[in-house]
Chain A
Amino acid sequence: MALPSSPPLLPEEYDLPSATTLLPLASGSSVAIRPLHRKRQHSDYGSLSSDPLFSDTTEEDDEGIDLQPPRRKKLTRGPWWNVGRRSKHDLRRSMARKEKMRNADSGVWMGSDASEDSIDSVMSSQQRMQELVVEDEGPADDTEASDEEAPALDAETYAARMVQDCLDRGKEVVNLGDLALTRIPDATLRPLHQLIRPSFSDLTSPPSEDEFGPLTPSITLILSTNQLTTLPTELFNLSNITVLSLRNNHLTELPPAIARLERLQELNIASNNIRDLPWELLSYFERNIRINVRPNPFYQPTDLFAEPSPVQAGASTDDDGRPDDAASAVDDVESLRERSTNHKGLPLREVLETRLRLGRLLVEQQCQTTAEVMKRSLSDDSLIYLASSAIRFFNVDGTQSRQTGAARVQPKDWSATVTPLANAPDLSGSNKAPSLFELALRSIQSTNDISEFLPGHGSHGHDYGLSSSIMAALSRAAVNTATHGNDTCSTCRKRYIVARAEWLEYWSHGSHAKPLAPDSTLPFLRKACSWACAVPTEVGTFR
């Protein structure tokens, strides 16, 4: 009894249905013997028939490939139970074989996934993965890179790997900060389009109500503390970015396309070399997006640091006293408006302060008429137009227009002035319709490959005998097509290639208690599609 019951069981089983134990043996022996006969008998018959290619009878597995399939007639011979058993067995085996065939790679792209795009993306991602696999150390190679290898290349590869990693894990915070990146290729950011928010991780319990949500991610992209001078085009196509940090880079300008990031809630561009902001960014300030713009070497309307502010004391007492009394506030608005437009001999700074006070009074008036909820947001973050620089006008081909009297083109001067249209050319005949130059350029841009006209690319670039201004316009059109598309006119919102005018507008953005100061004045660069659109904002405008 030391041995368990299992050994005795076996012989019993063998013994009891004696027929079944014998029969497999018999069938086994028949397998060994029969084929020889059969082969002889039906060899020529089998060679005539064409069906062995996909035969479903399967005794040949253990016999060899050149064996003829056994005839069905023969199979039906023998005991009936054997027949049933065998056929079931055969069926299973043939099924397995079919499955094996199906699983093998046919090497043919199916129509559904054969689009060129997907092939490309597969190829490129494979390539990238290979590149990434080549050096295997992970974050450790950061130190190595600074020692021996070219750091730029490594940082880029590392960044690509980080992005891939975030993609794999569904991480919404993409931190590419402090990598000493000098540029980011479009291909690095492109995978972020595919990022989806990970759904609830353990599927053990049924999801609760609040777990049903969109899988659209809210990407936080951190590019701070790098050495970026330009931003990749792809960045502005990632519409799911909600937080974007470009702090501490070497950017000199922000492209207008930044306003395309519609879900953006926080933007940090501090510590760059940005001198002015794109006009489109004004909408971000309006939408109460948290924007960190300082420190940056912004243009100043006038030297705000040096001069003392003479009217400041008076202004603050005015602001404290007046707003309660609506009637006197209106009087004040009128007088301020007059003083800010009739600026004979007043120093620019004083004009600006007057305009600021006017703006604030208007904002407060607005606050009194609107609901309580609006009040806070309005008074805290209102933007008040201060002044604009002199407008620079351009000819149809983008060269700066000369005044009839002026001997040479005036140098770039962005300081604020009370007469922005002072050196404007004759605007009598101008209207908002696009110029013929612009129209022809647009139609070249939409139909032709511009690069063939440019000397760098086409062999016959010089044969056209194009002037330098036309070349400049053509290359601008080419660059627009390659990157963010054409710019939008700040006045009429039409798209244009060649800007006809540009100027800076200074807006005050800060809390109401503060006087006019450098750190509450923001310069916005406005561009216009036609001379008729080159109209600076009216005094007293606020947003």
Chain B
Amino acid sequence: MNDLTEYVTLISSDDFSYVVLRSTACISPIIRRMLDPSNGFMEASTNTVHFDNINGIVLEKVCEYFYYNEKNKDAKDVADPDFPTELCLELLMAADYLDV
């Protein structure tokens, strides 16, 4: 069993890949479970997650959110990040899927 890497790769449906810190990506229970070696998924061994239902633009925003969340864990009175209007609904669905 290989060690847990510091970074993991998230790949969108249109083959954009994003390399993010494992700790930030694991705020999503879905990704956490996929990357958990004890569950024995292929994602865990390759440290790469493919999303067939999330496209590159949306996944970029999701990754931005991962870091926003990491940064503002204990902060107060943080302004909400701006999302492009046209992406909001897709983001909403992606967030529902990822449970973040």
Asked if B73 and A437 sit within 8 Å, CB to CB, the answer is: no
In angstroms, Cα B89 to Cα A470, docked, is 10
Asked if A441 and B74 sit within 8 Å, CB to CB, the answer is: no
Given known A395-B99, A431-B74, A434-B80, contact A440–B91 (CB-CB < 8 A): yes
Q: Which of A106-114, A280-288, A461-469 contacts B (4 or more CB under 8 A)?
A: A461-469
A492 neighbours in B (Cβ, 8 Å):
76
Within 8 A of B (CB), among A416-470: 429, 431-437, 439-444, 447-448, 453, 464, 466-467, 469-470
- Which residue of chain A lies nearest to B80 when distances are taken between CB atoms in the complex? A439
Asked if A467 and B88 sit within 8 Å, CB to CB, the answer is: no
In angstroms, Cα B72 to Cα A436, docked, is 13
* Residues of A in contact with B, size category: 20 to 34
Asked if B78 and A440 sit within 8 Å, CB to CB, the answer is: no
B81 neighbours in A (Cβ, 8 Å):
439
B69 neighbours in A (Cβ, 8 Å):
431, 433, 436
Q: Which of B82, B88, B91 has the most CB of A within 10 A?
A: B88
A501 located at the interface, meaning its Cβ lies under 8 Å from any Cβ of chain B in the complex: no
Asked if A464 and B65 sit within 8 Å, CB to CB, the answer is: no
- Which residue of chain A lies nearest to B68 when distances are taken between CB atoms in the complex? A433
Within 8 A of B (CB), among A460-513: 464, 466-467, 469-470, 473, 492
Asked if B88 and A433 sit within 8 Å, CB to CB, the answer is: no
B49 neighbours in A (Cβ, 8 Å):
none
A437 neighbours in B (Cβ, 8 Å):
92, 95-96, 100
Q: Which of A397, A435, A440, A466 has the most CB of B within 10 A?
A: A440
B99 neighbours in A (Cβ, 8 Å):
395-396
In angstroms, Cα B55 to Cα A533, docked, is 32
A-B contacts, 26 of them at CB < 8 A, read A396-B95, A396-B96, A429-B27, A431-B74, A432-B73, A433-B69, A434-B80, A436-B65, A436-B69, A436-B91, A436-B95, A436-B98, A436-B100, A437-B92, A437-B96, A439-B65, A439-B80, A440-B89, A440-B92, A441-B92, A442-B80, A443-B80, A444-B89, A447-B88, A466-B93, A473-B92
Beyond contacts A431-B69, A470-B93: 12 other A-B pairs, Cβ-Cβ < 8 A, are A395-B99, A429-B32, A439-B83, A440-B83, A440-B88, A442-B80, A443-B83, A448-B88, A467-B96, A469-B96, A470-B96, A473-B92
